[in-house]
Structure 1
Amino acid sequence: MKKLNSASQIPLYHQLKQVIIGDIESGKYKIGEQLPTEIELCENYSVSRITVRRAISDLVNEKILYRKQGKGTFVSESKIERELISIGSFSDITTQSGKEPSTQILETQIKKPTKELCNVLKISSDQDILELKRLLSINGKPFIIETSHYPISRFPNLETYISSNQSIYKILRENYGVEIVKAEKTLDVKLSNPEQSEIFECDANSVLYLLKKTAFDKKDEVVHVSNSLFLASKVTFTFTVKE
């Protein structure tokens, strides 16, 4: 057990933070593993409870640790980077990054479009749309709750081709000859509702990224619109600008 130096100018809580980070990096505490209790940490490092609480709070704020109400403090996963301006499908992008994608269909509905969807998809209010809600996971852990809308007039029987662990973009290419070449995206934030918190296995009112996307084909026609929810503590969005 590494000893803290009470004579150092470096505050004890900061020393304890570095020790815990070092233990995580060395594999002593693994991703998802629970840390010792506050009392155990006090005894292990001969420090006060105030010192332990300050160190743990800082690490939680830095997303290195996370708390589960009534259960304790756990080691967070490292954030997944996602290119904000990418065009490819979730399956393709995830596989290229060396991770394992999987998909669970949460709900499919044939319904009438809202006025906003009519305007974006260029359809009339009496035409049906397919609403597809999916849970997209990486290495078996929930990553995105995605709700997409497709015009049935352009993609008849689309719902019959859809199955878990199959790329929608691949279905569009192979069955309808449609290729996504451009997407317009906006990024916002919201707080998780009870259903979303349960799916993401996170605390109530956790911060979520809301990514709204409109996808276009080679003729610059709208193919679909989607809303994707990401747990903010699990993802970092990046973008590349080329001159």
Structure 2
Amino acid sequence: MLEEQNVIPLYRQLMEQIEEKIRQGVYRPGEQLMTEIEMSKAFGVSIITVRKALKELVEKGLVERQQGKGTFVAKKKFSKNLSQTLNFTQMCHLAGVTPGGKMLENTLIFPDKKLAAKMGISQQDRVIYIKRLRFANDRPIAIEENYFSLSYAKLLEQNFDNNSLYDFLDKEYHIRIAYTKKKIEICRANKEEAKLLHVMEEEPLLLITSMAYTEDDRLCYRGKQLFDGENFALYV
């Protein structure tokens, strides 16, 4: 129960108690909290006090109010700093989460007109196509597709479930990505993408297309990443 005689306002006492339970993991990300009425009865305070406490928690990014559904503990978002040239594995390590992956395809394809133009090749020139589902702490975060020229043929012999493409390029070809050019868009999840990312079909996704270049300004690959916007944030 809260202490009415305490110099700390009741709403702040309530806010701090909820915040502490979130920090301790008693209330887990995505978990629904008690309703305002239930919370009012449980802590012996008014609805106004409860709403003020929840408002503070929303502003701190610890809880989320969903219209018609209730109040939920905010999910920790995985983030990408666009001002840095970091691969997925490096981003995970910086965020303190464990990276993972499942290779869905590693094959040769003929590029469409747009891809061929971007890569400066003919549509008759086959390219290496690698598609992976990427995880952070075993949670599906992104669908990643990369296109390489046949000069990187050794990629076809590899399994990149939990291995870094960047590390392989560095080790086998002595290539490091110096910079990338990115384009960011919003798209809608199709049936396959929704199934892989555990989201609803037609749910908004963040689409990042990129061109990665080596230190001598040569194109290394063209990439495409689809992120679940609910669990991912971009910043610069």
Query: Fold match, TM over 0.5?
Result: yes
Counterpart CA distance in 2 for 1:93 and 1:175 is: 22
Per the alignment, residue 192 of structure 1 pairs with: 189
Q: 1:167 to 1:124 in 2, by over 3 A?
A: same
Q: 1:136 to 1:17 in 2, by over 3 A?
A: same
Q: 1:25 to 1:34 in 2, by over 3 A?
A: same
Give the C-alpha shift of residue 113 in structure 1: 0.6
How many residues align? The count is: 228
2:214 to 211, 214, 217: 217
1:107 to 105, 122, 126: 105
Counterpart CA distance in 1 for 2:118 and 2:220 is: 10
Alignment of 1:79-228 (within 5 A): 79-151=77-149, 153-228=150-225
Amino acid at match of 1:155: Y
Conservation of the 8 A alpha-carbon contact between 2:63 and 2:71: no
Counterpart CA distance in 2 for 1:196 and 1:185 is: 21
- Provide, for residues 92-119 of structure 1, a one-character-per-residue CA deviation record: whole Å limited to 9, x for no partner: 2322443211111122331101111111
Q: TM-score, normalised by structure 2?
A: 0.76
Give the C-alpha shift of residue 146 in structure 1: 0.8
Please, which runs of 5 or more residues in structure 2 have no aligned partner? 5-9
- Off by >6 Å, runs of 4+ in structure 1: 15-19, 45-48
Counterpart CA distance in 2 for 1:160 and 1:22 is: 50
Amino acid at match of 1:190: C
Please, which runs of 5 or more residues in structure 1 have no aligned partner? 5-9
Conservation of the 8 A alpha-carbon contact between 1:101 and 1:137: yes
Task: Tell me the SS of whatever aligns to 1:197.
Answer: helix
Conservation of the 8 A alpha-carbon contact between 1:3 and 1:45: no
* Identity across the alignment (%): 25
Q: 1:77 to 1:128 in 2, by over 3 A?
A: same
RMSD: 3.7
